[in-house]
Each structure stands twice: as structure tokens, then as C-alpha cells.
Amino acid sequence: MMKNFLKSTRFSTRAYGSALLVLTAFALLATYSVQKATSYSYGVVGQSRSGCGNGCHGGSSSATVVKIWTDASQIVVGQTYNFHLSVANPSEAGAGCDFSVDNGAVLATTDPGLQLYNNEITHNAPQSFSGDSAVWTFQYTPKKTGTSHIYAAGNAVNLNRGADGGDRYNLATYTMTVVSAAGPQAAFSAASGAVLRDTSLVGNTVTSTVWLHNKGTATLTINHYGLKTGTVFTLLDTSAWSIAAGDSAAISIAFNPASKGSFTDSLRVWSNDVAANPGGMALSGVGTVAKLQVDNASLAFGPVRVSSSMVQHGKITNGGNGPLTIASITVSSPSGAFKFVGLAKGALPPLTLSPSGSTADTFSFVPAKVGPDTAIVTIQFAETATPRDTTIMLIGEGIQNAAVASSQPTPADLVIAPNPSNGRIVLRTAADLGNAELEISDAAGRVVSRESVGLAGETPLDLSSEPNGSYFVLIQPKGGVAIVRRIVIAR
């Protein structure tokens, strides 16, 4: 139409300018049409999946054949490929097109018959058939691996620019699998998946394995291993510096928390994998604390007839948030009268208590002679790599078979204050308990003081020369039952 218009018009300078205005108007109309997705011969976008029969053209027809193809045998992420689109219909004379992509791919074209708008391509004028079809060429660049698609609508037209009802469109979809670039490809995994997760008691070290896989097609060469912070996580074994395609190597990592709480870090590996340099994975750890608690600093058996047996039970509790292992329980009894029987349900150490878990500890007292007797119990537990222990005291008294036990003072009968102290303390009694033998020993069972005192009112004791620590005060009233108190010297 434009050609006939130009032939039938005599041009002056003014007429030529008018023709330019007409051409400019057509160009603006084409751009406007593409942007609004409501064009006829100048192209249209937004129709690649739905088709062109929205009132602008005729309906769909299987006689219109739309094809998309490429000469590439494999589509690799990041590389650019030439694709072709053809539209054919033996009853029509030309065609237009519209096509789009997914999966983040990018379109481009140098074909003079195509135009790009918002990463979608359409024709800028109907293309006459050459032979039995119209063919366009465009460029496709995938940005992600995985399944990807090119969606196309092709409209076969009669080129009469007036009776659009005779046009017939059809759709086509090209499906492909975008693969990683050839070469090495580093990937990481741990027993917990994409993140290494560890839990350890404070002061302990837990060692775990991270796997470095080469999922590429060439040897992975490692240049450097590292940690982002390297505070509680440590690299132990990084001996693998070359990993063949399809193979894997183990990386040993230690987690050693110095305090309770959650910790994070990240493993980094620099290699010849250009897509991930450095590559790495997240590290996560939780530091836990076990805490041994005993219900009493001492167990009193009271008066027991010689050669008879008496048992007492204590309680051991894990008051922390990490597992606690009772490694051993030993009894230091000079007379041999006290013995450790076992834990709850007849169990023996080692025994692990979960957080808030508890168990009973049972001891026996079989006096061989008349008189008061004591023993020191040491409970050793593996809270950290270096075992720790705590102590309690066992107290009993052997009496003759015909003897009658005197009344036993209650705990309220005697108070020690202050506790903890700097070593200067006072024994305070509400009633006159008479004369008593007083013995003070340290946590190891060593006697540091022994004297006779009168228990009435307040009785001062001076332990200021002793070092900080726990001490047991054994008070044996004459004719009564022994009383034990635990005191702490802390300056």
C-alpha cells in the first residue's frame, strides 16, 4: 500500500516532508502497538501462549505449522545459541510471530524482521513465505540449569491487509534441559544435608565430616581451604587437593565450643570451578552444659547395731542442657563399714543422664565397732574432656546390740553462718546440746581440725588459714547422733 502510495504521488520538497511524517507516524504506531500488545501487521507481544485469535485475526488451525529448532545438541547455562522459528500454511501467503521464554533466559535478535520488547520478540512486519514458510532467527541465552521452554505463536496470513478473518494461527512449545557448563563443579553435603550441624558439651570436641563432590566433567583442583571466622570450628583434614570428575573427598571439621550457646561459621573452598569460587557450606553448632547436682552434701545412717546393715539413698540430677556421664563413684571408708551399692535399678557407672534426668545412688553401712564413723564419696563425671568430681560425706554410728539410741537432733538444732564465708564462722544452737566432738575435713577427706566444744548458744570457729573450697563439719554430741554440715570458704 505504501509503495503504491509513493508511486502515485508527485513529490515536491513539501510533499517529501509529508511522506516522512507519514513514515514517522507508522513507526510510532508500531512501537505503541508492541508496547500495548494490540497490533496487527506491526507485531504483538503477550500472545505466545494464548494465540492470536483475540479479534485481530481468525481462529487457530492445525493447517498452520509452527516449529522451533536449533542446531545445538546440548544447551549449556550461560552460553548463547541461535534458534529458528518457522510458520507454514499452504493456504496463506505470509506470517507473523510472537515468542517468549521462562527460567530466566534472555532473548536477543539481529534479524531485521524481528523486534525485541521486554524480553519478548515479535515481527515488525508480516513476512512473505519463501517456498512454503516464513523463517526467523533469534538468540537464546539460558541463565539457569533445569527444564526451560520457548513459547511461540505463529500466525499465517493472506497479506491482504484487510480481511484478517482469513488468517490462521497455531502454537508451539520448545522444551529443553539446560545443563551446567562443562568442567569441574564443586558441591557440598554433610550428614545433616546442606548444613553441617553439631552439638557438643562445652569444653569437648566433636568431629564431623563434610563431603566435597565434583559433579562436573573435569578434574576439580582445590587451591585453598578456609573458614569464615574459625572460632569454634576448626579444619582438621584437608588433604584432598584434586578430585576427579564424579568423585568425592572428605573434609574433617572439629566443633569445640568454649561456652554455652549457638554458633555459626561457613566452610569456604577456592578451586578451578569458576561458577563457585569460593564454594562452601554453612556450619552450625550448639554448645551445651551438663551440671551435676546432688540432693544432699551428706547422708546420715544414724545409729546402727554392730554387724547389722543399713542403706541410704541419695539423688544425682543433671541440671544442665547437655548429656552428663557419671564416670565412677568411689567410697573412701577407712573402717570399711561404708560401701557403694549401685545406682537406680542396679545400674553401675558409667551412666549417662540426659538434661533434667536423675538417678538414685545407694550406699550401705555395716559397722564393725561401736562409735561414730564417716566416709567420703567421690562422684566423678565426664562433663568435659577432663573429668571432674564432687564429694559427699557418709555418717553413721555403730552401737552395741543392747544399746538404745538417743534422740537425734534435727537439722534446725544447729546453724552455721555465714556460709559461704571467709573462714570465720559461728555454730549457733537454739538449745543446749551439751559437749560434742567437732571434726572438720576437706573434700578429699583430710581432717583439718578436731576439738571438743560445748554446743550452747554460739560457738566461733576459725578456718581462715585454710584455702578456698568445700569442707565438712562433723558434730558428734555425747550420747546423741552425729550432725554434718557442709561449708564453703570463698574469699
- C-alpha 238/C-alpha 270 separation (Å) is 12
- C-alpha 381/C-alpha 349 separation (Å) is 10
Which residues are registered as beta bridge partners of 462? 424
Residues spanned by the domain of 207: 186-288
Are 305 and 365 contained in the same domain?
yes
Angle at 235 between CA 229 and CA 237, to 5 degrees: 165
Are 272 and 306 contained in the same domain?
no
Are 344 and 425 contained in the same domain?
no
- DSSP H or E run through 355: none
Give the amino acid at 237.
D
Are 190 and 300 contained in the same domain?
no
Q: Residue 99 in contact with residue 121, Cβ under 8 Å?
A: yes
Phi, psi of 273 (to 5 degrees): -80, 100
Which of these, 350, 302, 348, 343, lies nearest to 324 by C-alpha position?
Answer: 350
Q: Residue 342 in contact with residue 364, Cβ under 8 Å?
A: no
Q: Can you spell out the DSSP letters for 281-302?
A: EEEEEEEE---EEES-SEEEEE
CATH of the domain at 303: 2.60.40.10
Provide the residue count of the chain: 491
Q: Is the pTM of this model over 0.75?
A: no
Are 124 and 58 contained in the same domain?
yes
Domain end position, chosen among 179, 206, 240: 179
Which of these, 312, 373, 317, lies nearest to 341 by C-alpha position?
Answer: 312
Please report, in tens digits, the pLDDT of each residue of the chain (491 residues total). 333 322 333 333 333 333 333 333 334 333 434 444 333 567 788 888 887 755 556 678 899 999 999 998 888 888 899 999 999 999 999 999 999 999 999 999 999 999 999 999 999 999 999 988 999 999 999 988 889 999 999 999 988 765 556 788 999 999 999 887 778 888 899 887 888 888 888 888 889 999 999 988 889 999 999 999 989 999 998 888 999 988 999 999 999 998 888 999 999 999 988 777 788 999 999 888 877 777 777 888 888 899 998 888 888 888 888 888 898 999 999 999 999 999 988 889 999 988 888 898 999 999 999 988 898 888 888 765 556 678 888 888 888 876 544 444 444 467 788 888 888 888 887 666 677 888 888 876 778 888 888 777 788 888 888 898 888 888 877 766 677 777 888 88
Q: Can you spell out the DSSP letters for 78-94?
A: T--EEEEEEEE-TT-SE
| Count of structural domains, the chain | 5
Domain end position, chosen among 179, 196, 213: 179
- C-alpha 343/C-alpha 122 separation (Å) is 83
Are 237 and 282 contained in the same domain?
yes
Are 295 and 283 contained in the same domain?
no
Are 213 and 282 contained in the same domain?
yes
Which residues are registered as beta bridge partners of 365? 310, 338
- Report the Cα 253 to chain-centroid distance in Å: 15
CATH of the domain at 435: 2.60.40.3080
Are 271 and 193 contained in the same domain?
yes
- C-alpha 392/C-alpha 486 separation (Å) is 9
Domain end position, chosen among 164, 179, 194: 179
